[in-house]
């Protein structure tokens, strides 16, 4: 299971939100490039970057920072936030992003996913409260079902799903095993990677995610944010925990 240390960008700064709430933000400084470089030097196999400004508005506000991160590290960068057109996805690829994450647009323009997937690697961001998918920076309920949508996209050439339990995100209270189990049961045999996000607070949480298996299907990766920034464990300890 690969580990994805997360860098969430707002106004060019490195921040974390609590349960996706833009009014409950913790600022971790103005050097996201330095953060990314430190993660890569510590052995991160991937870095996950989110443009929170773009996720909310659809307007790319941190693309220069994302490009700088890609240029500064020698590991692949997965990035999303506000990717709602083929052109926006292409711009991230030209900035150096190895895999683009499409969230809101995947729900509102599902045909976009196949169009982008034909050109570059794509992950679909499935951000949910339980099984209710949310959009527009997690602020709007879509009324769509998490597993039903995952099954539809599994046949469209996507490389991965990033599955986030919004209620756990930034809380350090542990991931939603029930939610992840349901997604693995739905798409585990499709060949699409499933990446967990939200709630990781201890290395035991990571061990539990690494051990999760449904009919032989397991998670390909886990995104970590606040736990690293607040020193709950180091990236080296996390990597040791998952082997």
Whether the CB-CB separation of 17 and 169 falls below 8 Å is answered with yes
CA distances from 50 to 60, 181, 213 (A): 11, 25, 28
State the pairing for strand pair 2-10/13-18. Answer: antiparallel
Contact criterion met (CB below 8 Å) for 164 and 127: yes
* Length, in residues, of the chain: 243
CB 78, CB 58: distance < 8 Å = no
Please tell me the distance from the alpha carbon of residue 170 to that of residue 189, in angstroms, as a whole number: 30
Annotated catalytic residue: which of 51, 53, 127, 205? 127
The DSSP code sequence of 149-203 is HHHHHHTTT--EEEEEETTTTTT-S---HHHHHHHHHHHTTTT-EEEEES---SH
Does residue 19 contact residue 167 with C-beta atoms inside 8 Å?
yes
Q: Is 127 a catalytic residue?
A: yes
Query: For the chain, how far is it from start to end, CA to CA, in angstroms?
Result: 8
Classify the C-alpha dihedral 132-156-49-94 as positive or negative.
negative
- Say which of 8, 51, 169, 205 is annotated catalytic: 8
Q: Do strands 122-129 and 160-165 pair parallel, antiparallel, or not at all (unpaired)?
A: parallel
Structure-token match 């180091």, residue found: 234
Active-site annotation, residues:
8, 127
């Amino acid at each position: 299971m690969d580990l994805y240390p997360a860098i969430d960008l707002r106004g060019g700064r490195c921040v974390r939100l609590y349960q996706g709430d833009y009014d409950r933000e913790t600022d971790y400084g103005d050097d996201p490039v330095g953060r990314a470089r430190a993660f890569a030097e510590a052995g991160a196999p991937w870095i996950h970057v989110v443009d929170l400004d773009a996720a909310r508005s659809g307007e790319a506000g941190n693309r220069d920072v994302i490009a700088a991160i890609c240029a500064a590290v020698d590991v692949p960068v997965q990035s999303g936030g506000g990717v709602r057109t083929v052109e926006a996805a292409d711009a991230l690829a030209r900035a150096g992003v190895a895999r683009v994450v499409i969230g809101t647009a995947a729900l509102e323009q599902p045909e976009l996913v196949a169009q982008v997937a034909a050109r570059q690697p794509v992950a679909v961001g499935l951000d949910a409260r339980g099984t209710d998918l949310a959009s527009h920076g997690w602020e709007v309920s879509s009324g769509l079902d998490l597993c039903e949508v995952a099954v539809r996209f599994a046949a469209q050439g996507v490389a991965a799903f990033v599955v986030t339990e919004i209620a756990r995100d930034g809380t350090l209270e542990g991931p939603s095993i029930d939610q992840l189990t349901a997604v693995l049961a739905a798409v585990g045999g499709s060949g699409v990677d499933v990446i967990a996000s939200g709630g990781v607070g201890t290395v035991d949480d990571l061990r539990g995610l690494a051990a999760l298996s449904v009919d032989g299907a397991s998670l390909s990766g886990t995104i970590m944010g606040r736990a690293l920034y607040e020193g709950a464990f180091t990236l080296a300890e996390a990597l040791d925990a998952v082997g």
